[in-house]
Amino acid sequence: MTRRALLAAGAILLAPRAQAKSKLKVAVFSKHLQFLQGEELAKAAVALGFDGVDITLRKGGHIEPETVAKELPALVGILRKHGLEVPMVSTEIADADTPLTEDILKTASALGIRNYRFGAYKWDAAKPFDVQLEAMKPRLARLSALNARYGMCGMYHTHSGVGVVGASIWDLWYLMKELDPNAIGMNFDVAHATIEGGLGGWIDSFKITGKYLRGIAIKDFAWSKDAKGVAQSQWKPIGEGMVKLPQFFSMVAATPFAGPVQMHYEYPLGGAQNGKTTLTLPKEEVYAAMKKDLEKTRAMMAQAGL
């Protein structure tokens, strides 16, 4: 081997290796498995192929806020015993003054859970929006400070609709832009974002999340007309609607986003879509639909390198 070849080989060996981006893990929103508890919930999530569970920690959820100190550790223990992660919990927290907020953060933090879903702010159509924005800022700042105390991040879940704060995403960016993204951020629902901005709006709203992108919710929808001819959004299985998921996942792949990703099932599914504890369809049909959506989602994520 020539001296030049030896030097070239040495350069290759000494060159820093590019680190492969870790694959994103997908959790099921436990609202859609509300008909299962404990061991059954864990076994179903594993059988369906999920990496983890986003636990409903709210009234009527898998964990009631009043019982968080006792029940959350028990459920998390069961899920982890089955190899499942608990990347987040979904709460009804609005701000630091919401009852039991500190109990929830303290308990979740002690279990190593670092993210929780919050939000549901509304606009008052009778008041100037700029005045309302300034009034919301201190609420988020106080919640952010409380989150930081417990090493938690509150993720504001983005919805679509009239009078909904966060529907445009830009209002959330304005509210959060001076806060620590490790303590407060957004849970970006790509379907709701597409409802609000079906052409380019959803692209711009995703980009504006920037460093505040902390979670992603996956679902699909299509526009349809009701009996009166009024256009309405209708939830659909993955790949049967209008959400451009392959494009979206390619955009996600270009960011440092690391999760959590949650699967939502909002289309008619025997009551599972609404968090019912009793189903009107055989469980096997519900599971088959959920598994199909997850497999389609994973295929699109893999194509994007996620």
Amino acid identity for residue 193 in this structure = A
| Phi, psi (rounded to 5 degrees) for 211 | -70, -10
**pLDDT of 12 higher than 70:** no
pLDDT tens readout for residues 239-251: 999 999 999 999 9
pLDDT tens readout for residues 64-113: 999 999 999 999 999 999 999 999 999 999 999 999 999 999 999 999 99
What pLDDT does 7 receive?
A: 37
* Average confidence score pLDDT of the chain: 93
Determine, yes or no, domain membership for 108. Answer: yes
Domain count across the chain? 1
Give how far Cα 256 sits from Cα of 52, 117, 220, 241, Å.
20, 20, 24, 27
* CATH number of the CATH domain containing 78: 3.20.20.150
99/217 Cα distance (integer angstroms) = 26
Phi-psi region of 45 (alpha: psi -120 to 50; beta: other; left: phi over 0): alpha
Quote the longest CA-to-CA distance of the chain. Answer: 81
Domain residues for the domain of 145 are 23-281
Top mean pLDDT of 15-24, 26-35, 219-228 is at 26-35
What pLDDT does 66 receive?
A: 97
What pLDDT does 23 receive?
A: 87
What pLDDT does 8 receive?
A: 40
What pLDDT does 285 receive?
A: 97
What pLDDT does 18 receive?
A: 33
Quote the percentage of the chain above a pLDDT of 70: 93
What pLDDT does 259 receive?
A: 87
Determine, yes or no, domain membership for 206. Answer: yes
Determine, yes or no, domain membership for 299. Answer: no
Cβ-based neighbours of 200, under 8 Å, separated by 6 or more: none
Determine, yes or no, domain membership for 264. Answer: yes
Rounded average pLDDT over 41-53? 98
Determine, yes or no, domain membership for 128. Answer: yes
Determine, yes or no, domain membership for 17. Answer: no
Rounded average pLDDT over 266-289? 97
Would you give the end-to-end CA distance of the chain in angstroms? 40
pLDDT tens readout for residues 111-136: 999 999 999 899 999 999 999 999 99
| pLDDT band with cut points at 50, 70 and 90 for residue 174 | very high
Determine, yes or no, domain membership for 10. Answer: no
Determine, yes or no, domain membership for 298. Answer: no
